[in-house]
Amino acid sequence: MLERVSKYELNIYLLKKEKLFLIYKEKEIKMTKIEKILLFLTILIVLFNLTQINVFIFFEEENKIALISFILSMCALILILLIRVSKKIRDKNQ
């Protein structure tokens, strides 16, 4: 059976819920700043690895390392962008 809740208890519950929501939003703001910094650093790594590729000696050992680093940094960039898109979709649905 449902219990009867007083207005005082309901107000306390709503205040706690609002406080938790504000804490969540504060953490969300911090995470978006961290995401932007990570995105910027990842783009820098992609550009750096792109400059390390030598097209004239494409199949040398040093060039293979640069290609692998470029591919891995592109994967990291794609993952960060996927996280950003999924958060935008989640926020739109809420």
pLDDT in tens, 18-29: 666 666 666 666
Q: What is the pLDDT of residues 49-72, one digit of tens each?
A: 999 888 888 778 878 888 899 999
Q: What pLDDT was estimated at residue 54?
A: 86
- DSSP letter assigned to residue 53: -
Over the chain, what is the mean pLDDT?
Answer: 80
Average pLDDT over residues 23-40: 77
End-to-end CA distance of the chain: 30
Report pTM: 0.64
pLDDT for the residue numbered 41: 93
CA dihedral 33, 69, 74, 29 (to 10 degrees): -10
